[in-house]
Homo-oligomer: A and B are copies of this chain.
């Protein structure tokens, strides 16, 4: 299977587009392979040639989102000459803006109906970003990274459950307050 083959590109692009449209109408777990293929006008065997389940298509969207997440985090560092930081400065955190940008996707990622796999993909991404900031093999800090990463996701979960009504800037303020006060 050559991913540069025009037929493959065309098929995948077709599937991506169809899934995007379907996601506007119904939640991910309710979208069947049969339905997706019928709407995309491709053979069901073709789908199984590329993927195992509908969730695998969504994972390809996920990759792009995680790239943007990483870029969002590094963004403030590009505009400062003080690259070395002892700690994450909440005021420079862009993660909430990133979530807002991909709000519709995060509504799916954070919904309880989907596989937990997406959650852990998000967790791993945030965690590795924190780790990259400060290289260490110390066990205590390994736990700290998992603690901090998931704490931030905890804020995102709360934000999601409040239907993203607050702005990303307000979320940053929440984070700063929590870190300063407690």
Chain A residues with a Cβ under 8 A of chain B = 82-83, 110-120, 123, 140, 142-155, 157-158, 174, 177-178, 182
Contacts and interface: CB of A to CB of B under 8 A. Distances in A.
A147 B175 CA distance: 9
A158 B142 contact: yes
12 contacts: A112-B116, A112-B117, A115-B115, A116-B119, A140-B174, A144-B178, A146-B155, A146-B157, A147-B155, A148-B151, A149-B154, A150-B150
B123 A117 contact: no
Contact of A146 (B110, B146, B154): B154
Nearest to A177: B140
A116 B143 CA distance: 22
**Which secondary structure dominates chain A's binding surface?**
helix
Contact of A116 (B116, B142, B144, B152): B116
Contacts of A150: 150-151, 153-154, 157
Which of A113, A142, A147 has the most C-beta atoms of chain B within 10 angstroms of its own C-beta?
A147
Contact of A83 (B120, B140, B182): B182
A177 B123 CA distance: 22
